[in-house]
Structure 1
Amino acid sequence: MPTTHSVPAVAGMNLRLRPLAAAACLLIAAATVALPSPARAQQAQAARGYAIAAGPLDQALYSFARSAGITLSFDPELVAGMNSPGLSGNYAVGEGLSRLLDGSGLEGVVGASGGYRLRKVAADEQGALPTVNVDGERSAVTEGTHSYAARAVTVAGKTPTAWKDVPNSVTVITRQQMDDQNMTGVEDALRQAVGVTAIPYGDGTAYFQSRGYASEVQYDGLPANSSLQYLRQYNLAMYERVEVLRGPSGLLQGSGEPAGTVNLVRKRPLAGPAISGSVSGGSWSNYKGDIDISRPLNEEGTVRGRIVAAGQDGAVYKDRGHNRQELAYGVLEVDLSPRTVWTISAASQNDFSRGTDYGPGIYTNGAFVNPPRSAFFGVDWGTSNQTSNEFYTDLTHRFGDDWVAKAAYIYRRTSSDSAYGYVNGLVQLNNTASYVLQGQAGNTAWQDLDVNLSGSFSLLGRKHHLLVGVNYAQRDGYSASGSQTIASVNIYNLSIPRRDIPLTSASNTYSEQYGVYAQTRLKLADPLTLVLGGRESWYASRSQAVLPAPADWKSTPSVNNKFTPYAGLVYEVTPEISLYGSYSDIFSPQTQLAVGNAPLSPRTGEQYEVGAKGVFLDGKLNASLAAFRIRDNNRAVSDPNNLGFYVTQGKVQSRGWEAEVNGSPARGVDLYAGYTRLDTTYLSDPTNQGKIFSPEEPRHTLKLWTKYQFQQPELSKLHVGFGARVMSQTNRGIGMQGGYSVFDAQLGYRIDAHWLATLQVDNLFDKTYYARMPSRFYSVYGEPRSVQLTLRASY
């Protein structure tokens, strides 16, 4: 069978395919049309050292792929009986692969996904030097690199930019780290990301804070005109990496909060055939599984497909509660011409949960209710159901030089309905409280379009880079709700029969924004790069009441011709170390009105950041240190002279510093570690002057995960993993939780080259803590100790 270095996925769930995903999978299965083979354009690549002995070609190729950090696939019969002259010295990936294949009649080809494959050289090309058509060294793809250290990112400029050359804090949760830590949800990934606080909401969703603010979200670089908060996201089995840019991202995002943005990047088809998967079982009868199949669909490899299915089912640590999730994802990639690649994908996911529980808040005397972690404060008949569907497509064309044009479009839609109950307000000392039963239903659709052109140009004897583009984002939503209040219940003896909850309130909401943006990287000197950018934005929104009585649409103040600047400077001290400074900006429309019903100007978030980045050990280890200061200006505060109106005199400051290390510092060691120091303060606010602005985010946060593969021959099949999350004190307006630490551990056994078993224990010492602090309403405990056994396979 053909062999490949591929991304793990997961196996063995009988999932019901939703219409969009089923159509995509059928499309991939049916696509067998042969199209022209891709062009081969040698790209400038950074060299690295190799010491591969002469010998069998297949062994030489395996060694080369490991050293280069690439995915390389080929049919063993293609190289059977062949020898390689070996490779010694410093070479770029394309040149090194060419030398290994010298005289074999084979060449290396890379698809848009970044994976490498071998093919025979056509008879009329036999004299040509085998080359590669994608710049592997600059690729942002993390699949197959087997590393926690990202080489490049796309969140800061649409096209892959070396991580070290981005003058902002960017963290990448690679595919390897996701698999090593058995992550399944976006919340799992962001809980590990430096500078991000992930807080569960109690209904299966979460909200995410960074540098004092709610995080924005992008999907393959397309801004969603929506934050990441309170939305059930697709299973991580669908994604190749998670990029986290911290600080204002208005240049490419448009409007939003100064937190930054999370870019979720989908898996693409690999260059060669691959299948991988995993199954796991653990505490509270939780079972998970996924399967990932990728392969070329024609002999030339110009049509490639990939399907991913994932699911999980099980209880939660509460006395009542059950979660179920089902995902299906399919993607097709077609080389329409030697220079043009078309991608189309579809995904569908269903999330069902029983037992929504927001927890209790506090007693009337101010003390925390502090129940057992297993206590359940919802109604046992409450359910929540969400169905998500997504369609994505992009078209990429490479011109004769290194200019690239790309157009991308995404349509996402979610529909949900739920019924639940919760403790409403303060709890009496006799454990009674008001209780609310609530029903909700709604749907939301997002559409995003981005068209951009990027490439390099020469000026004054130096090579520079330019990106120009336009994008459009639309959000269209409908929500309905109804509630019934029960005057007094005993929170520890809830017995509330099922009842219908009429939906008595409903509304439509609509928002859209579009903008024109440009960014250029100017090489002022060999070690000095100036990054300049700007965006002109337009934003509008409106709402309409539907229940209890239909009403006309009501528009909120729009934003027109809002300019968002960006500037950065990168100085390369050595080829491994760079120093940088940057200014970034973003705006957020406000709905409050000034005297005379005049619209308020938007809030503006501006950040100054300085830092250093280093790439060490031939790209195996990344390290960074950054200091930042954000000023959130023009915040609406009550007009002291005109009751009911507002003025833009509020100001908040967020400042701190971060340190991060990820990659492989030594043989057999994989490491992810980061520290954040954060201070947020109201600088100008009549009621909050001098107070902490974002008390749910700890001042000090340390995150760590490390895995060690034993190097001794007798233990070489074993690895151990250790993780820690250390937080300083937090609060949510009432009371304080002291600092706490949560530790995780893992033991792994490599059965053979394809199979890996891991036993993972999260919250090893069963620490009791609040993941969401109590306030007047609600609280959520952190998950108690849990155990998970996972069997993972990759072919």
Structure 2
Amino acid sequence: MPVFHPVPLRALAAAVATVCMFSAHAQSVHSYDLPAQPLGSSLARIAGTSGQQISIDAELVRGLNAPVVRGSYTTEQAAQAALTGSGLDLVKTAGGHWTLRKAVAATTPASTTTLPTVTVTAQAERSATTEGSGSYTTDAVTTATKLDLSLRETPQSVSVITQQQMEDQGATTIDQVVRGATGITVQTGQADTAIYTARGFGVAQQYDGIPDGTPATDFGARITSQQDDLVLYDRVEILRGAAGLTQGNGQPGGAINLVRKKPTREFQGSASVSVGSWDAYRTEVDISGPLVEGGRLRGRLVAAFDDSHSFQNVVNEKKTVLYGVLEADLTPDTTVSLGLSSQKAKGAQEWWGLPFYADGSDIGMPRSTYLGANWNLSDRDRTTIYADLEQRFANAWKFRLSARSNRTDMYKEGTAGSGPVSAADDLVGFGLSSGPFVYDTQADGLDLYASGPFRLLGRNHELVLGASTQRSEMHMDNYVFANDANGTVNIHAWDPASFVRPQGGLAHRSRFSETSRQHAGYATTRLSLSDPLKLIIGARLSRYENVYRAAGVAPATWGYDIRSSTDNTLTPYAGLVYDLNPNTSLYASYADIFEAQNAKGADQKVLDPIVGANFEAGIKREFFNKRLNASLALFRIDQKNRPLLDTNAPLPCGTAFSCYVPSGKVRSQGFETEVAGSPAPGWQLSAGYTYNTTKYLNDTAAEGNVFSSFTPRHLLRLSSAHRLPGTLQAWTVGGSLRAQSQQYVESGSVRLEQKAYAVADLLLAYRISDTTSVQFNLKNVFDQRYWAGLSSTRYQNFYGEPRNASLVLRTKF
């Protein structure tokens, strides 16, 4: 039977891998069902199926992906389909074999024959998968519209953090990746949580395009905003601006979509070990491939083990991550998959951060300061089940059903310091009654849609019809030690070992719960008005309900419910894309999103939802056969129907203490530019700059003031990796830069400020062989001291990481 004989690559130099197999007639027709995958792998499978020899220059195909190739074709047609968008030509040699070369406009030399253009009618989906591409960009995204579009064809701002970029940055958590993304601001919070914002508003989180269903409240964030380990994911897609069409209820900042790794049809494996500052040790293993001959059943198993301490005293964590997924082709047109992931983490975490002096001045504590006890504990367990079904039809339509169920349990106990601190005596408060806390949450989501082409008025168009449902239920129980203690201590003399864990019994003090449900139907169509002009219109009809309950158990009994809901809320979407040429497009779009509220008016009815409308216009361009994407966007977000106190209503106002009117309005506007991909062979680049201002347009107390003071006016993000040429080609050098202007928060009449700052990172990697490399990352090279999170003079202020280093050894097999 045909076999594939790769010749080992010299360190990133030109090499040839020849596919040898038994001879077969060039015009024999064979059936192909190839997934989107690296181009070299796709061509190897075509050669193996057809029996034709294809010589591949490994350097030509490095970093290139092939689309899906599905149908019955000759070798020539199948290979042409795989080469779509690659910038390469398929040519026949004098010996009758196939080979590749860069596309040229000049006349083909007499020694070769250029094949005629072949129109392939197979389903040729773009590949969004970034694994193995070596690129900082991708061919397709669906986060904004559910349509299978390239970045240039998408009329909103979307960034993709690829597998290669995550590896180059040495990133292992979603927080580390998002901090380097264009236009995103990260505010560090307690116990390994964070708040992500874009353009001054909150950003929702999705998994494989399914909203996680968690309401954007502080309570919800405390439970669910844990740091996802990146070993599970192929890429992170980030949409900036309202994501109402795919998200439903939420704020207009955007959405972060984490896309899981999938099983591969060809066997592959990788492993890595790393060591870093503060006794950080990590091991990863990733194995994927066919489980039966022919690859109709495929599987993937991923594991990571992490044991690390922190720049803060006492803080530490041990984490275990496991992920397994099976994928099966029930028929050539029907694929199902089932997956399970588990993330367990246990250790001592920072709870309340550091306080400030009462006047808002910085106490100047060392970054290693830990205002907690050495027995503080955080124990988390997250289990997620995934299921997918895809049915493909002969008319290029497909149906997809995706389900996700997530269970998170958490236990926390400990003590923490609480300010503000008096400058006269440097005393800070503490309390042993700050735990234990027991959390649990269950979040379930289901999304189904059908998509495909249709013809109308003699032109081809695309349509998506779908429905989704999400439900989440969260609980938190707060207990106190029977012999708890409170007091004050000099903040400079804080000793984590001096606080002894109370040994008495536990008393149940309070209980909180939150339940949210959302059901929606949506539709999107991409209309071809003319060859260069496309109109994308869509809408989502949503029903949303949220109930928050709080109750005191002891010593006093109390309780209240807060409800918010919307019925049949319509979220429209519209985008217009005009192609100036095949590589350049102008676009304009409108997208909005609603946010249910619980404030009531004088009529005792809940106010209409807050509405965030995103207006955006810009230009996008693809360079170098789509290996580099660039964009420039102007944006404005108006959020209206915000609750303002009704000064004409009596106090109390019916069953509420106060009543409100939906007349508040804020605005965020600015511009943004981004470049991502390969500007030259061996060079990967991601760079973005955002200018953003925010303002209260209508507010009783704050009109004209800055709305989102933690959103920097200037935000620069840069990441680059360059493989050196010539005799140094085994080496890769690079780095990243995060720079931003002033941020601040106001705590009462006091302002806490972080001045403009920049953080630089460096990358140095050496390829030992074709399959093994070693990589060194140095982060915060100049040891910049800055606040990664600011809240109040009392607590919840967190330093960013000081200078630190890591060394990782990777191998592939």
When normalised by structure 2's length, the TM-score is 0.84
Query: Residues 396 and 104 of structure 1: is their aligned pair in 2 closer, same or farther, counting only changes over 3 Å?
Result: farther
SS class of match (1:237): helix
When normalised by structure 1's length, the TM-score is 0.85
Q: For 1:434, which of 388, 406, 429 is the aligned residue?
A: 429
- Give how far 1:366 is off: 2.8
Q: Could you give the per-residue CA deviations for residues 119-143 of structure 1, whole angstroms, max 9, x where no partner exists?
A: xxxxxxxxxx99997625x121111
1:386 aligns with 2:380: yes
Query: Match of 1:60?
Result: 56
Counterpart amino acid of 1:651?
Answer: K
The answer as to whether partners of 2:539 and 2:571 remain within 8 angstroms in 1 is yes
Q: 1 CA distance for matches of 2:221 and 2:320?
A: 21
Counterpart amino acid of 2:514?
Answer: T
Query: Residues 421 and 693 of structure 1: is their aligned pair in 2 closer, same or farther, counting only changes over 3 Å?
Result: farther
The answer as to whether partners of 2:573 and 2:590 remain within 8 angstroms in 1 is yes
- Give how far 1:505 is off: 0.5
Query: Residues 374 and 91 of structure 1: is their aligned pair in 2 closer, same or farther, counting only changes over 3 Å?
Result: closer
Query: Residues 192 and 461 of structure 1: is their aligned pair in 2 closer, same or farther, counting only changes over 3 Å?
Result: same
Query: Match of 1:659?
Result: 673
Q: 2 CA distance for matches of 1:87 and 1:594?
A: 65
Alignment: residue pair count: 726
Counterpart amino acid of 1:730?
Answer: Q
Query: Match of 2:170?
Result: 182
1:609 aligns with 2:626: no
Q: For 1:684, which of 676, 679, 698 is the aligned residue?
A: 698
Query: Residues 514 and 414 of structure 1: is their aligned pair in 2 closer, same or farther, counting only changes over 3 Å?
Result: same
1:8-407 aligned at under 5 Å gives the runs 40=32, 57=53, 59-60=55-56, 62=58, 65-66=61-62, 68-70=64-66, 92=84, 135=124, 138-226=126-214, 227=216, 229-230=221-222, 231-407=225-401
1:513 aligns with 2:518: yes
1:737 aligns with 2:729: no
Q: For 2:453, which of 434, 452, 456 is the aligned residue?
A: 456
1:786 aligns with 2:801: no
Query: Match of 2:790?
Result: 773
Q: Could you give the per-residue CA deviations for residues 700-746 of structure 1, whole angstroms, max 9, x where no partner exists?
A: 0111111111102x211111112111110111212322101111111
- Give how far 1:300 is off: 1.2
Query: Match of 2:598?
Result: 591
Counterpart amino acid of 2:542?
Answer: S
Query: Residues 675 and 411 of structure 1: is their aligned pair in 2 closer, same or farther, counting only changes over 3 Å?
Result: same
Which segment is superposed worse, 488-497 or 95-104?
95-104
The answer as to whether partners of 2:358 and 2:793 remain within 8 angstroms in 1 is no
Counterpart amino acid of 1:296?
Answer: P
1:472 aligns with 2:469: yes
SS class of match (2:441): strand
Which segment is superposed worse, 272-281 or 552-561?
552-561
Query: Match of 1:488?
Result: 488
Q: 2 CA distance for matches of 1:286 and 1:565?
A: 47
Q: For 1:724, which of 712, 730, 737 is the aligned residue?
A: 737
Counterpart amino acid of 2:135?
Answer: S
Query: Match of 1:34?
Result: none
Q: 1 CA distance for matches of 2:183 and 2:372?
A: 32
Query: Residues 3 and 140 of structure 1: is their aligned pair in 2 closer, same or farther, counting only changes over 3 Å?
Result: farther
Which segment is superposed worse, 474-483 or 569-578?
474-483
Q: 1 CA distance for matches of 2:623 and 2:564?
A: 50
Q: 2 CA distance for matches of 1:131 and 1:631?
A: 45
1:535 aligns with 2:540: yes
Query: Residues 735 and 43 of structure 1: is their aligned pair in 2 closer, same or farther, counting only changes over 3 Å?
Result: closer
Counterpart amino acid of 2:501?
Answer: R
1:662-677 aligned at under 5 Å gives the runs 662-677=676-691
Q: For 1:746, which of 753, 758, 763 is the aligned residue?
A: 763
Query: Residues 505 and 99 of structure 1: is their aligned pair in 2 closer, same or farther, counting only changes over 3 Å?
Result: farther
- Give how far 1:546 is off: 5.6
- Give how far 1:575 is off: 0.7
Q: Could you give the per-residue CA deviations for residues 493-541 of structure 1, whole angstroms, max 9, x where no partner exists?
A: 2332112664411133211010110000000010000010011110112
Q: 2 CA distance for matches of 1:788 and 1:522?
A: 50
Q: Cα RMSD between the aligned structures?
A: 3.5
- Give how far 1:349 is off: 0.5
Query: Match of 2:106?
Result: none
Which segment is superposed worse, 499-508 or 305-314?
499-508
- Give how far 1:102 is off: 14
- Give how far 1:488 is off: 1.9
- Give how far 1:201 is off: 1.2
SS class of match (2:493): coil
Which segment is superposed worse, 451-460 or 420-429?
420-429
Q: 2 CA distance for matches of 1:298 and 1:503?
A: 54
Which segment is superposed worse, 203-212 or 766-775?
766-775
Query: Match of 1:559?
Result: 566
Query: Residues 279 and 603 of structure 1: is their aligned pair in 2 closer, same or farther, counting only changes over 3 Å?
Result: same
Q: 2 CA distance for matches of 1:563 and 1:627?
A: 25
Q: 2 CA distance for matches of 1:88 and 1:139?
A: 16
The answer as to whether partners of 1:43 and 1:133 remain within 8 angstroms in 2 is no
Q: Could you give the per-residue CA deviations for residues 590-635 of structure 1, whole angstroms, max 9, x where no partner exists?
A: 0111124221111000011001111100111111111100011000
SS class of match (2:245): helix
- Give how far 1:692 is off: 1.3
Q: 1 CA distance for matches of 2:161 and 2:272?
A: 19
1:688-727 aligned at under 5 Å gives the runs 688-712=702-726, 714-727=727-740
Query: Residues 545 and 105 of structure 1: is their aligned pair in 2 closer, same or farther, counting only changes over 3 Å?
Result: farther
Query: Residues 480 and 612 of structure 1: is their aligned pair in 2 closer, same or farther, counting only changes over 3 Å?
Result: same
1:577 aligns with 2:575: no
Q: 2 CA distance for matches of 1:61 and 1:346?
A: 39
The answer as to whether partners of 1:84 and 1:102 remain within 8 angstroms in 2 is no
- Give how far 1:436 is off: 3.0
The answer as to whether partners of 1:94 and 1:131 remain within 8 angstroms in 2 is no
The answer as to whether partners of 2:350 and 2:370 remain within 8 angstroms in 1 is no
Q: 2 CA distance for matches of 1:750 and 1:275?
A: 17
Query: Match of 2:553?
Result: 548
SS class of match (2:703): coil
The answer as to whether partners of 1:295 and 1:306 remain within 8 angstroms in 2 is yes
- Give how far 1:374 is off: 1.2
Query: Match of 1:20?
Result: none
Counterpart amino acid of 2:774?
Answer: A
Which segment is superposed worse, 288-297 or 351-360?
351-360
Q: 1 CA distance for matches of 2:257 and 2:800?
A: 26
SS class of match (1:695): coil
Counterpart amino acid of 1:513?
Answer: Q
- Give how far 1:95 is off: 13
The answer as to whether partners of 2:777 and 2:805 remain within 8 angstroms in 1 is yes
- Give how far 1:202 is off: 3.6
The answer as to whether partners of 1:698 and 1:730 remain within 8 angstroms in 2 is yes
Query: Match of 1:79?
Result: none
Q: Could you give the per-residue CA deviations for residues 205-262 of structure 1, whole angstroms, max 9, x where no partner exists?
A: 2111111111101110111222594411431010011000111111111111111111
The answer as to whether partners of 1:43 and 1:132 remain within 8 angstroms in 2 is no
Q: 1 CA distance for matches of 2:321 and 2:36?
A: 39
Q: 2 CA distance for matches of 1:246 and 1:736?
A: 26
SS class of match (1:177): helix
The answer as to whether partners of 1:754 and 1:793 remain within 8 angstroms in 2 is yes
Query: Residues 686 and 789 of structure 1: is their aligned pair in 2 closer, same or farther, counting only changes over 3 Å?
Result: same
